[in-house]
Chains A and B, each alone.
Chain A
């Protein structure tokens, strides 16, 4: 997956969680939680969806890596390079 593919994947998962989510003003280097209506349970939904869609087992200590769109891409890029 390219970096753009991963970005799209994350946004698609967030859209599934909250179809009212507005990405127009989303800053990719800022925490997603500060910009969207997401809480800790929603982040667990993202983790679960990555597990379901790509069999990724993300350890709990790595959850902070999913804070912003950019950090998601950075963290997931090596894990999804063959996806």
Chain B
């Protein structure tokens, strides 16, 4: 079979979100629109709304290892083990050297560097007090590498840097590596530890793009006329990807099949999004999936709650889906904030159960819909029940002009 025609399926999901540490609870809270965004207090910066994950950090490795590693590594190890367990896969089912670990990161090392500079500031900036852990913690492959060490995986591991499109990009990488025959199973997903960095908050604030609200749960309000910026969240989501025939052979539960994808570049601006190129990316993903816009049941939007970003994405959707009256649109960030490198995969995971329950979780916090964001079939403030859901299109865009789109369809013979 032409390797590009090989069918790749998702057979396991492990996640840590600001409101859940497993897919079942995550789905329940998304459908109910339960946000657990809270106010945190950052060094130098002060209070800000943020999404913080609560999960059993020592379920799969010792405190000592968490202390030595990074928060991203800790999130990744938890999600990778959870994904394997969810897929009912023993680590020895596949040859360990034929498993690849592909982790999408918006950034990495910022938190560790800020912490270390603060540390030496306590010693008059004497670099003799700079930790020997700095380099292994800040190399870009750190989170993926911590996963391989924890699971004893000896195949390839590396990071995919694609700003906030990184989660989708890593999933695409996993699919491609399976199709190329480089690996027999992939752990692919995204991780963000960005809530540990005051610099990330301060930079968004300086840009006028950091959300503020009296109630932190209402701070992230994509498409609302009063939206005022991004809520930074930490989080992680890792998928088990397998070739369809292998998944069927072992009787795996199949969450969905990756039907199409595209990554492209705006080639235009450092931070401003560009609807025209986003539309091209969506269209190309549809073409590769062999689908028309009208075939898509759910669009999980990237919208982060910034003025221009939301409008540009709505323009792109309007352009491609103008003739698609049965396509429904939601937004997951309104509930969990922006999990950066994990955003694309985490939001996709939240939508995957729609193949079974045919529900669409809502965009919350929309009191007054911005007319420039108005689209048909937006799922606002309460969930929508459909007769059936068989396709999800997941948008994920990032700074310096990177767009990514993944289409997942319900598995059918």
User: B-contacting residues of A (Cβ < 8 Å)?
Assistant: 17-20, 37, 41, 44-45, 48, 51-52, 57
Contact = CB atoms under 8 A, between A and B. Distances in A.
Contact of B128 (A37, A41, A44, A57): A57
A52 B152 CA distance: 35
Interface of B: 62-64, 67-68, 123, 128-129, 131-133
Contacts of A18: 62-64
B63 A41 contact: no
B129 A51 contact: yes
A20 B63 contact: yes
B66 to A, nearest CB: 11
Given A18-B64, A20-B62, 15 more contacts: A17-B64, A17-B67, A18-B62, A18-B63, A19-B63, A20-B63, A37-B64, A41-B68, A41-B132, A44-B132, A48-B129, A48-B131, A51-B128, A51-B129, A52-B123
A41 B65 CA distance: 12
A51 B63 CA distance: 24
B129 A19 contact: no
**Which of B62, B128, B132 has the most chain A CB atoms closer than 10 A to its own CB?**
B132
A18 B63 CA distance: 7
Contacts of A48: 129, 131-132
B135 to A, nearest CB: 11
Nearest to B136: A41
Contacts of A17: 64, 67
B131 A20 contact: no
A45 B133 CA distance: 9
Contacts of A44: 132
Contact of B64 (A20, A51, A52): A20
A18 B67 CA distance: 9
Smallest CB-CB A-B distances: 4 pairs: A18-B64, A44-B132, A19-B63, A20-B62
A51 B133 CA distance: 16
A17 B133 CA distance: 13
A40 to B, nearest CB: 9
Nearest to A17: B64
Contacts of B129: 48, 51-52
Nearest to A37: B64
B208 to A, nearest CB: 40
A57 B64 CA distance: 25
Contacts of B68: 41
Nearest to B130: A48
12 contacts: A17-B64, A17-B67, A18-B62, A18-B63, A18-B64, A19-B64, A41-B132, A41-B133, A44-B132, A48-B129, A52-B123, A57-B128
A37 B61 CA distance: 13
A52 to B, nearest CB: 7
Nearest to A43: B132
Contacts of A45: 132
A26 B180 CA distance: 52
A18 B68 CA distance: 10
A64 to B, nearest CB: 17
A17 B62 CA distance: 11
Contacts of A52: 123, 129
B64 to A, nearest CB: 4
A44 B67 CA distance: 14
B297 to A, nearest CB: 49
B61 to A, nearest CB: 12
Contacts of B62: 18, 20
B65 to A, nearest CB: 9
Contacts of B67: 17
Nearest to A39: B68
A31 to B, nearest CB: 19
A52 B128 CA distance: 10
A45 B68 CA distance: 10
A55 to B, nearest CB: 10
A69 B128 CA distance: 25
A27 to B, nearest CB: 21
Contacts of A20: 62-64
A19 B65 CA distance: 11
Contacts of A19: 63-64
B183 to A, nearest CB: 29
A1 to B, nearest CB: 21
B188 to A, nearest CB: 29
A48 B116 CA distance: 13
A45 B131 CA distance: 8
